[in-house]
């Protein structure tokens, strides 16, 4: 694929040579939907792999007989495991089961203001 030649456009108003000409890359879930996976199948695969031991996940990551979805999830989990991180695990879990419901509690408290010779005391 030939590189984009910016020499003919570099002085045009509004031209940005760093822009992404092809647009944003497709998300993994959108790409998997095109291959025939349903959201439920993706969620079940994710939760199934999360329940395995490290040795079983390593076997999935290295074995080409598993689907690409299974291998991608296994590799992401192993990468985080090696770093001692939960970044990919958090992303994978939020995709599979959703984010927990967040609640906020608001308390109405009265504020008493007292004025004493030019000073305000709360």
Q: Does residue 84 form part of some domain?
A: yes
Helices (H) and strands (E) in the chain, counts: 5, 2
Predicted TM-score (pTM) of this structure: 0.51
Q: Does residue 42 form part of some domain?
A: yes
Q: Does residue 122 form part of some domain?
A: no
* Residue 78 domain boundaries: 28-97
In tens digits, what is the pLDDT along the chain, a chain of 122 residues? 555 555 555 556 666 667 767 777 666 666 667 777 777 887 888 888 888 999 999 999 999 998 888 888 888 889 888 888 887 778 777 877 777 777 888 777 777 777 777 776 65
Q: Does residue 103 form part of some domain?
A: no
Q: Does residue 67 form part of some domain?
A: yes
Q: What's the number of domains the chain is made of?
A: 1
Instruction: Please enumerate in sequence order all residues whose Cβ is within 8 A of that of 54, keeping only pairs 6 or more positions apart, or say none.
Output: 78, 81
């Amino acid at each position: 694929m030939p590189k984009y030649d910016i020499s003919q456009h570099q002085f045009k108003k509004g031209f940005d040579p760093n822009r992404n000409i092809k647009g944003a890359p497709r998300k993994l879930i959108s790409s998997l939907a095109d291959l025939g996976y349903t959201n439920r199948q993706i969620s079940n695969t994710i939760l199934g792999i999360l329940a395995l031991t490290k040795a079983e996940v390593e076997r999935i990551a290295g074995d080409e007989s598993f689907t690409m979805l299974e291998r991608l999830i296994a590799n992401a989990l192993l990468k985080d495991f090696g770093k001692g991180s939960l970044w990919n695990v958090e992303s994978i879990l939020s995709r599979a089961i959703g984010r927990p419901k967040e609640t906020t509690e608001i308390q109405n408290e009265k504020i008493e203001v007292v004025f004493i010779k030019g000073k305000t005391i709360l």
